[in-house]
Amino acid sequence: MPTTSITIAPLPIPETLHGPAGADFTASVELANLVTCLIWGNNDFWVSPAAKLEGSRANDYAVTYLWAAKDGDRHVGRALLELSLQDNEQNGYVFVAVHPEYRRRGIGRRLLAEAEAFAGSLGRTTLQAWSEHPAGFELEGPDVVQAETGIGSLPAASPAVRFATASGFRLEQVERRSSMPIPADPGLLADQLAGAAAKAGGSYRLVEWTDNCPAEYLDHYAALRQRMSTDVPLGELDYEEEAWDAARVRHKEANLQRMNGRSLVVAARHVPSGGLVGHTVLEWFPEQPEVVFQEDTLVLRAHRGHNLGLWIKARNLQRVAEAWPQGRRLYTWNAAENSNMLDINIALGFTPAGYEAAWQKKLHAARP
Identity of the residue, 130 or 209, whose beta carbon is nearer to ligand COA in the bound complex: 130
81, 94 Cβ separation under 8 angstroms: yes
Identity of the residue, 126 or 212, whose beta carbon is nearer to ligand COA in the bound complex: 126
What x/- string results for residues 328 through 367 when contact with ligand COA is judged by CB under 6 A?
-------------------------------x--------
* Residue 105 binds ligand COA, judged by CB under 6 A: yes
Find all residues with CB under 8 Å of 288, minimum gap 6, and list them: 43, 44, 46, 47
Identity of the residue, 239 or 359, whose beta carbon is nearer to ligand COA in the bound complex: 359
Q: Which of 114, 32, 108 is nearest to 81 (CA)?
A: 114
Q: At closest approach, how far in Å is the CB of 353 from ligand COA?
A: 16
Q: Which of 123, 126, 128, 168 is nearest to 366 (CA)?
A: 123
Q: Which stretch binds ligand COA (CB under 6 A): 93-101, 184-192, 290-298, 306-314?
A: 93-101
- 159/133 Cα distance (integer angstroms): 10
* Residue 170 binds ligand COA, judged by CB under 6 A: no
Q: How far is CA 274 from CA 49, 167, 296, 338, in A?
A: 42, 50, 21, 28
Identity of the residue, 102 or 217, whose beta carbon is nearer to ligand COA in the bound complex: 102
Identity of the residue, 106 or 195, whose beta carbon is nearer to ligand COA in the bound complex: 106
- 64/42 Cα distance (integer angstroms): 26
Q: How far from the centroid of its chain's Cα atoms is residue 124's Cα?
A: 21
What x/- string results for residues 132 through 161 when contact with ligand COA is judged by CB under 6 A?
---------------------------xx-
Q: Output the CA angle 157-162-163, nearest 5 degrees.
A: 145
Contacts with ligand COA by CB under 6 A: the residue count is: 20
Site for ligand COA in 231-260 (CB under 6 A): none
Residue sitting closest to ligand COA (CB): 108
Site for ligand COA in 8-37 (CB under 6 A): 35
Identity of the residue, 101 or 322, whose beta carbon is nearer to ligand COA in the bound complex: 101
Identity of the residue, 116 or 283, whose beta carbon is nearer to ligand COA in the bound complex: 116
Q: At closest approach, how far in Å is the CB of 341 from ligand COA?
A: 25
* Residue 83 binds ligand COA, judged by CB under 6 A: no
Q: Which of 68, 83, 97, 310 binds ligand COA (CB under 6 A)?
A: 97
Angle between helices 159-166 and 107-121 (to 10 degrees): 50
- 224/247 Cα distance (integer angstroms): 14
* Residue 129 binds ligand COA, judged by CB under 6 A: yes
- Footprint of ligand COA (CB under 6 A): 35, 96-98, 103-109, 129, 131, 159-160, 162-164, 166, 359
